[in-house]
Structure 1
Amino acid sequence: MLRRRFQSPAAWVETADLFAILTTVSLPWSTSLTAIFNAAFLVCMVPFLDVGAFLRSLTRPISAAPIALFLLALVGTLWSDAAWVLRLHAVSPTVKLLVLPVLVYHFERSQRGHWIFIAFLASCAVLSVMSWLVVVYPGLSLRPYDPLERGIFVKNYIDQSQEFALCAIALAYPVMMLLRERRYWLAALLTMLALSFVANMVFVVISRTALVTMPIMLGMFGLLHLRGRSIAIITVSLLALAAIAWQASPQLRRTADTFSQDYQLYMQKRIPTSMGERLEYWRHAVQFFVRAPLKGHGTGSTQGLFERASTEPSWVPGVRVFPNPHNQTLHVAVQWGLVGIVVLYTIWILHLMLFRGDGLACWIGMLVVVQNIFTSLFNSHLFDFHEGWMYVIGVGVAGGIVNYAKQKPMAAQSEYSLAATLAQTGDP
C-alpha cells in the first residue's frame, strides 16, 4: 500500500497540497515552521514533475517577472560596494519570489486551492482568540511584555494587523454572494467573523499602516462589486460604525493621534519619532537614488549608505540606522535604480491584470496585490518575511485557481471541436 502511494502521482499531489496548507496555517504563528513546510511542499513536487510543462509555465509574464526581480538582486551583487555577507543577505528576501511561479503551476493542476484560503482564515481566527486571551492574561504571550503591543501572542502588531485586515475585507465577497443566494445564516456567520477581526483591531491593537489601507481596500470592493445605491448605504453604515468605534476605543484614537503628533515632533523639534524616522529614510533614499538613477548602488548597499549618511550634519540626531528605507519602491530604487523600479511595478501590474474578473480567487488575489502595493508605501513589505509570504502564497494560489478556471472552458471547447470533426469525417 505504501509502495503504491510512493508510485502514485495523485498521492504526491495530495501530499504537496497538505504541506501547502500547513505552510499557510503556520504563517501567522512561526517563521521556522513556514520555511520547513514550504520546503517539504517543494520536495513533494519533484518526483512526478512534468519538467517541460513547468519550464514553459515559467516563461509566462506573471511568473517571469518575480524571477526577474530575483535575478536582478543576484546580478546586483556585482556592482555593490557592500561586504559580500550583506550582499547575499540582501538577496535572500527575493528568494521567496521564486516560489510564486511554483504555486501558480501547482494549483493550476490541483483542485484544492480554496483550502489554502480556508486554512489561512481559520489560523487567523484562532490567533484572534489568542490575542483577546493575551489582553486578559498578558503572561500567555510568547513575547516580552510591551504596553504598545498588547494582545500580541506571537510576532508583532504590524503582521497581526495585516492578517486581520486581509481576512476581514476578503470575507466581504463571500458574504455578498451568500446574501444574493439568500443563505442568510451562513452570511451572518461570516459577517460576525469579519467583525471579530475588526473588533480586535479597534479595541486591542492596530498598526497605522492597516488603519490607512483598510479604507482603500473597502473602497476597492465597493467599486468592483457594488452598485451606486448599495455603495451609498454601506458607506453611511460604515461611517456610523467608525464614529461609534472612535468614541468607544481609546486605543484607536491613540493610534490615529500618533500621525500628527509624530509629524509635529519631528518637523518642529527634530525628535526621532516613528514617522520622523520614515521621513528621514525617505529623504536620504531619494538622494541615494539620484546619485545612481539607472542601475542603483547594488544589492545590499542600503545599510552602508545610511551609515555614511548618519554621520552628516543633515541627519536628525537619534534616528536609528536601518538597512532599508521603509518604502518598497525606494528600497528597490536605491539598490537597482530605474531598472529595479520597472521590474517591481511590472510584477504588480501583471498580477493586478491576472485577477480581473469575477470569483473568489480573483477577489482574494486582487486584494492581496492591492494590500501589498499600498502597505509598501510605508514598509518594504514585498521583501519582509511575513507580508512577502502573504503575497507569494495569496497570488500564487489564487493565480493557479484563476488559470485553472480559464483552462477548463478551453479544454471543453477543444473536446467539442474534436468530437465535431470526428462526426463529420465518420471516424469512430
Structure 2
Amino acid sequence: MSINSGADAGSWGARCLNVTRIMAIAAAALVPASTAAASVAVVLMLVSWIISGRAVATLRAAAAQRVGQAVLVFLALLAVDTIYSVATWEDSWSSLWSWRKLALGLIVLGLFAEETWKLRLLQAFLVVSAAGSAASYVGWLGLIPSKTGHAAGVYFTNHATQGITFAVAVLCCLELGRHTGPRLRHLLQAGALLFAVNVVFISTSRSAYAALVCVVLVWSLGRVGWRRLPLVAGAVAVLVAMAFGLSSTLRDRVEQGIDEVRNYQSAPEVTSAGIRVVFWKNSLDLIAERPLLGYGTGSFAKAYGDRFVMPELGWRGWPATDPHNQYLFIAVENGLVGLVAFIAILVAAFREARGPGAYRGIVRGMLLAWCVSSLFNSHFRTFPEGHLIWLMVGAMLARVPRNDSAGSIQPDSSRARSR
C-alpha cells in the first residue's frame, strides 16, 4: 500500500505517519523561535516515523526523486570522508551529525506529497512568524521587556534567524496570495508588508536584508517572467535604494559592514565582517593544499588551528570552527568533490522547483536566499536555519512517485495542470 494513499488511513502505520508529518510541521514552524521545542518535535517525528513500519517505503519515495538521490550521495560522501579525516572520530561524527537536517528533509520529501500537508506547514509557519512579528513590533516600541541578551524587538533565536524567518514569511504570503480569493489575498499582502517593514526597520541582520532582496526578486520574476529580468532588477534596486534612505538601522549596518571589510587589516579590535575576511583568506589557503578531497569530515577546526592559530597575531590568530561561508567550509572538509556534490543538491532542487505553483515559488526564493546568505554564514548547516530550509524544501518539493497509487492526492494543482 502506498504511503500517499488514503485507502488505509485508519491503519497503525498511516496514523504514525500522520504524527510524523505533524511533528515535522511543528519543528519547521517552531525552530526559528525555540530550538528546544523544535528538538522535541524532531525526536517525536523520528520515533513515530520509525515505529510506523513505513520508514523504508518513505525513503524509497524520497530516493525516487532527483533531490533525494543527490542528498543520499552527499550524505554518503560525508560518511566516507570520516575515514581519512585529520580530526578525531568524535569531531568527525559530530560534524556528520550536524548535517542531520538534510536527512530530515529526505524524510519529509517522502511524506509531504499531499497538498493538504504542504498547506498546513505553511499555515503553521505563518502563524508562528506572525506572533513573533507582533511581539517584535511591541517590544521595539518598548511596551514589553526585551529578551535577555538581544536587541529590542528580537524574540526569536537570534536577530539573524528572526530576520531571515520574516523574509521567508514575506515570500510565503506573496506566493499564497496569488492562489487565494481577494479577501485572503489582501490579508496576506498586508502580512507580507508588515514582515518586510520589520526586516527593513527593526532587524539588524545583514543576512536578513540579503534574504529579503532575494525573495522579492524571485517572486517578482515568477510574476512577470525571466525575460523581464532587467526591468525587475531595476525595480528591486529602486526599492533597495528607498529602504537604504528611509531606514537608518539598515543603512548603518550596511555601512558598518563595508567599513569593517575595508579596515580588517588595521582594526585593533575584532569585528564581525573583519574576522570573516580573515577566515575566508585562510580557508582558501587550506583548500589550495588539499583541493580534491579536503581534510575530511569534521576536520575544519583542527586543520585551521594547526596552520593559523597564533596568539601573537591577536584576533587575527584566533581559532575557528567555521569560516562563516558554507561553500568554503565544505571545500575545506570534503574538497571540491564534496562541494560539487552539495551544489548538485541545490541544482536538483532548483530544477524541481521550475514552473508555476506557490510551493515551487517558495522553494526558489528560499534556496536563493540561503545560497546568498551562506556566502557569509553556514546557514544550510546551522541549527535554526538548517532545519528550516531542509524541512521546508523537502516538504514543498515532495511529489507522488509516478508508479504511486492512483488515489494519491497531487502535491500541487498547478503541477498537474502544467504537465
TM-score, normalised by the number of residues in structure 1: 0.83
Instruction: Tell me what 1:248 maps to.
Output: 246
Secondary structure of the residue aligned to 1:377 is coil
In structure 2, distance between residues paired with 1:188 and 1:234: 22
Instruction: Tell me what 2:101 maps to.
Output: 96
In structure 2, distance between residues paired with 1:410 and 1:222: 36
Match of residue 34, structure 2, among 5, 27, 30: 30
Match of residue 72, structure 2, among 56, 67, 74: 67
1:293 aligns with 2:291: yes
Match of residue 53, structure 1, among 49, 52, 57: 57
Instruction: Tell me what 1:114 maps to.
Output: 119
In structure 2, distance between residues paired with 1:127 and 1:155: 11
Aligned in 2, Cα 1:15/1:57: closer, same or farther, shift over 3 Å? closer
* Paired residues for 1:297-316 under 5 Å: 297-311=295-309
Q: Is the 8 A contact 1:69 1:94 kept in 2?
A: no
In structure 2, distance between residues paired with 1:133 and 1:319: 42
* Paired residues for 1:10-409 under 5 Å: 10-50=14-54, 53-60=57-64, 61-108=66-113, 111-137=116-142, 140-144=145-149, 146=150, 149-178=151-180, 183-226=181-224, 242-269=240-267, 272-311=270-309, 317-318=315-316, 320-400=318-398, 403-404=399-400, 407=402
Aligned in 2, Cα 1:324/1:122: closer, same or farther, shift over 3 Å? same
1:289 is aligned with what amino acid? Answer: I
In structure 1, distance between residues paired with 2:146 and 2:340: 42
**Structure with the largest fraction of helix:** 1
2:200 is aligned with what amino acid? Answer: V
In structure 1, distance between residues paired with 2:289 and 2:384: 32
In structure 2, distance between residues paired with 1:90 and 1:133: 39
In structure 2, distance between residues paired with 1:99 and 1:87: 20
Q: Is the 8 A contact 1:333 1:340 kept in 2?
A: yes
Q: Which runs of 5+ in 1 are unaligned?
A: 413-428
Secondary structure of the residue aligned to 2:116 is coil
Per-residue CA deviation, residues 365-411 of structure 1 (Å, 9 max, x unaligned), is: 222222221111111111111111111111111011xx13x759994
Secondary structure of the residue aligned to 2:197 is helix
Which has the bigger relative contact order, CA under 8 A and spacing at least 6?
2
In structure 2, distance between residues paired with 1:228 and 1:70: 33
Aligned in 2, Cα 1:316/1:343: closer, same or farther, shift over 3 Å? farther
Per-residue CA deviation, residues 267-298 of structure 1 (Å, 9 max, x unaligned), is: 45575321111111111101111111111111
1:158 is aligned with what amino acid? Answer: A
Instruction: Tell me what 2:411 maps to.
Output: none
When the two structures are aligned, how many residues end up with a matched partner? 399
In structure 2, distance between residues paired with 1:223 and 1:237: 11
In structure 2, distance between residues paired with 1:256 and 1:20: 35
In structure 2, distance between residues paired with 1:229 and 1:373: 22
| 1:11 shift after superposition | 3.1
Q: Is the 8 A contact 2:296 2:334 kept in 1?
A: yes
1:23 is aligned with what amino acid? Answer: A
Structure number with bigger Rg: 1
Secondary structure of the residue aligned to 1:107 is coil
In structure 1, distance between residues paired with 2:84 and 2:232: 53
1:383 is aligned with what amino acid? Answer: R
1:45 is aligned with what amino acid? Answer: W
| 1:317 shift after superposition | 4.0
Q: Is the 8 A contact 1:327 1:377 kept in 2?
A: yes
| 1:55 shift after superposition | 4.5
1:92 is aligned with what amino acid? Answer: W
Q: Is the 8 A contact 1:143 1:154 kept in 2?
A: no
Per-residue CA deviation, residues 82-101 of structure 1 (Å, 9 max, x unaligned), is: 23332222122112211112
In structure 1, distance between residues paired with 2:99 and 2:381: 6
Identity, % of aligned pairs? Answer: 24
In structure 2, distance between residues paired with 1:81 and 1:374: 30
Aligned in 2, Cα 1:262/1:360: closer, same or farther, shift over 3 Å? same
Greater Cα shift, 316-325 or 196-205: 316-325
